[in-house]
């Protein structure tokens, strides 16, 4: 796609956005912003080398008013805007797609990074969309608080990205996903208006605009800030490990915990293959006789954490689930971000692909979904699975797949074939095709298949918000 940078008049950019500091069209900058961490794009770079930039201008606003001015400027300059967080997305949500006849401007929000206010009475924080997750958490920790949102990418992902994709963190079984934490969004609409979507914990004043905007991946507005609920830092944690003969027994155990009101901060089932390949045997203990490992962590006041841990052990005993002691849980906690730094070891090898696939289903379908996806033919490869986000009605399964493209001419072609099979198997078995990574380019064609007639309604909503289709066009199945 040829660059259209020369069609953009930077002389008319809003006040405060100067060359080199507020905007750039340097070729290397444009190439960097032409992709996120979608593995398919990384395979393309490995296989074919750097391509022509698909972005024509990058801007770095520092205030909501500058974002408003940019949105109004986009109309007069006749350009499209793509909101950009930290670039850690793995589905291509920020990659320009579709025909996109207009120049493409990437709006990097990382300079909107302030923690604006903290309300201890309501236990809420107002934070700007560009703040990195780890920086927000450290700020709260200094005040004796926590957001409770710990994605594996916390060091390199932003609040705005969490909001745009309905992100989940490792402690979501207790604290919820990001959509459970948001009281209000501050958003710039396509007409340049700055709006705040809520003012109370719950409201019956018509539809919930916060929930409509969450997960819209920059197609309806640009998030500039959010009001989030926070919690006291836990005074105590209980780490427990369990073992089961197979994954179905592990599902039954975790379902019982959830449906009896036990809420661990962390609960993770590792299937047999992932247990054997990723957990050191000495961390499993002598009581583990093979099968699936289960990690649980309870946190809060010392008394509450102890009670919940005791109840979990009682339920385990009643179901003949082996208790393995605390070592497995403490080992997981100490190494819980390691996986984010190991993927390059595989992606750096020619003809190898690596990706993850996070889906969710109700308990009655969960085993069937697991078996259907595990049954997909990867060729020469392996698929691991763990269950990491749990609910009263169901759970998430997180698959990790590595495969060799064999004699195929292109690893990218092999990647596409594998993904087509995986998505088809999961949908037929009754799962939603994304639990927390979002849609992006990767799953865009599958969104209408899962949502059916609702995608036509979303298209009308999109036209109502953005009649010129300037905000991240070509996304969300449109």
CA dist 167 → 149, 160, 170, 387, 436 (Å): 9, 10, 10, 16, 5
In this predicted model, what pLDDT tens digit does every residue of 13-62 receive, in sequence order? Answer: 888 888 778 999 999 999 999 999 999 999 999 899 888 999 999 999 99
Q: Quick one: fold of 340-442?
A: GMP Synthetase; Chain A, domain 3 (3.30.300)
Q: What is the pLDDT, as a whole number, of residue 4?
A: 73
Q: What is the reported pTM? A: 0.95
Domain segments of the chain as ranges: 5-108, 115-232, 236-336, 340-442, 443-478
What is residue 384's three-state secondary structure?
Answer: strand
At CA 120, angle to CA 114 and CA 124, rounded to 5?
A: 55
236-336 and 340-442 agree in CATH topology = no
In this predicted model, what pLDDT tens digit does every residue of 442-454 receive, in sequence order? Answer: 999 999 999 999 9
Q: pLDDT above 70 covers what percent of the chain?
A: 96
Query: How far is residue 287's CA from residue 313's CA, in Å, rounded to a whole number?
Result: 15
State the DSSP string of 309-352: HHHHHHHHHHTTPEEEESHHHHHHHHTTTGGGGTTHHHHTSTTE
In this predicted model, what pLDDT tens digit does every residue of 138-175 receive, in sequence order? Answer: 999 999 999 999 999 999 999 999 999 999 999 999 99
Q: Quick one: fold of 5-108?
A: 3.30.43
Lowest mean pLDDT among 6-20, 261-275, 396-410: 6-20
Mean pLDDT of 85-95: 96
Query: How far is residue 40's CA from residue 43's CA, in Å, rounded to a whole number?
Result: 5
Kindly indicate the confidence band of residue 417, based on its pLDDT and cuts at 50, 70 and 90.
very high
Kindly indicate the confidence band of residue 100, based on its pLDDT and cuts at 50, 70 and 90.
low
The answer to whether 124 touches 201, Cβ cutoff 8 Å, is no
Q: What is the pLDDT, as a whole number, of residue 168?
A: 98
Mean pLDDT of 101-118: 96
In this predicted model, what pLDDT tens digit does every residue of 339-354 receive, in sequence order? Answer: 766 666 666 678 899 9
Residue of 223, 361, 337, 244 lying closest to 292 (CA atoms): 244
For residue 208, what are the contacts with CB-CB under 8 A and spacing of at least 6? 198
Taking each helix axis from N to C end, the angle separating 363-374 and 247-259, rounded to the nearest 10 degrees, works out to 150
Q: What is the pLDDT, as a whole number, of residue 242?
A: 97
Helix residue ranges, H only, 233-301: 247-259, 272-278, 281-284
In this predicted model, what pLDDT tens digit does every residue of 185-230 receive, in sequence order? Answer: 999 999 999 999 999 999 999 999 999 999 999 999 999 999 999 9
Average pLDDT, the chain: 94
Q: pLDDT above 90 covers what percent of the chain?
A: 87
CB count within 10 Å of CB 286 equals 9
Per-residue pLDDT at 1 exceeds 60:
no
Q: What is the pLDDT, as a whole number, of residue 101?
A: 83
> Is domain 115-232 annotated with CATH 3.30.360.10?
no
Lowest mean pLDDT among 13-17, 75-79, 275-279: 13-17
Q: Quick one: fold of 236-336?
A: Alpha-Beta Plaits (3.30.70)
Count of residues for the chain?
A: 478
Per-residue pLDDT at 391 exceeds 80:
yes
């Amino acid at each position: 796609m040829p660059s259209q940078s020369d069609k953009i008049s930077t002389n008319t950019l809003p006040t405060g956005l100067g060359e080199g500091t507020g905007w750039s069209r340097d070729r290397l900058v444009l190439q960097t912003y032409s992709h996120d961490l979608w593995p398919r794009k990384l395979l393309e770079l490995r296989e074919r080398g750097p391509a022509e930039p698909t972005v024509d201008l990058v801007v770095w606003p520092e205030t909501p008013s500058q974002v408003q001015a940019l949105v109004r400027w986009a109309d007069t300059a006749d350009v499209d805007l793509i909101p950009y967080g930290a670039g850690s997305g793995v589905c291509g949500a920020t990659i320009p797609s579709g025909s996109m006849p207009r120049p493409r401007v990437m709006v990097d929000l990382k300079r909107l990074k302030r923690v604006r206010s903290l309300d201890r009475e309501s236990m809420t924080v107002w934070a700007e969309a560009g703040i990195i997750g780890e920086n927000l958490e450290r700020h709260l920790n200094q005040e004796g608080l926590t957001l409770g949102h710990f994605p594996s990418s916390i060091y390199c992902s932003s609040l705005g990205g969490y909001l745009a994709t309905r992100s989940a963190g490792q402690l979501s079984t207790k604290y919820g996903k990001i959509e459970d934490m948001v009281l209000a969004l501050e958003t710039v609409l396509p007409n340049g208006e700055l709006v705040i979507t809520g003012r109370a914990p719950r409201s019956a004043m018509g539809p919930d605009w916060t929930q409509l905007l969450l997960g819209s991946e920059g197609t309806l507005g640009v998030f500039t800030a959010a009001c989030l609920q926070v919690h006291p830092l836990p005074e105590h944690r209980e780490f427990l490990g369990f073992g089961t003969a197979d994954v179905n027994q592990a599902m039954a155990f975790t379902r019982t915990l959830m449906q009896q009101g036990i809420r661990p901060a962390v609960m993770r089932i590792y299937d047999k293959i992932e247990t054997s390949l990723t957990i050191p045997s000495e961390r499993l203990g002598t009581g583990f006789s093979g099968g699936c490992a289960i990690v649980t962590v309870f946190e809060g006041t010392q008394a509450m954490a102890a009670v919940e841990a005791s109840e979990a052990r009682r339920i385990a005993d009643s179901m003949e689930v082996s208790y393995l002691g605390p070592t497995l849980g403490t080992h997981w906690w100490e190494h819980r971000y390691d996986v984010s730094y190991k993927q390059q070891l595989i992606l750096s090898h020619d003809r190898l692909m690596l990706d993850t696939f996070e889906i969710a289903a109700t308990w009655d379908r969960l085993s069937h979904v697991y078996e259907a996806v595990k049954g997909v033919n990867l060729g020469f490869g392996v698929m691991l699975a763990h269950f990491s986000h749990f609910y009263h009605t169901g759970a998430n399964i997180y698959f990790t797949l590595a495969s060799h493209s064999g004699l195929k001419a292109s690893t990218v072609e092999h990647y596409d074939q594998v993904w087509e099979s995986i998505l088809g198997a999961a949908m037929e078995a009754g799962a939603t095709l994304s639990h927390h990574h979002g849609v992006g380019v990767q799953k865009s064609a599958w969104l209408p298949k899962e949502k059916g007639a609702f995608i036509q309604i979303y298209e009308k909503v999109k036209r109502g918000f953005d009649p010129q289709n300037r905000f991240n066009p070509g996304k969300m199945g449109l």
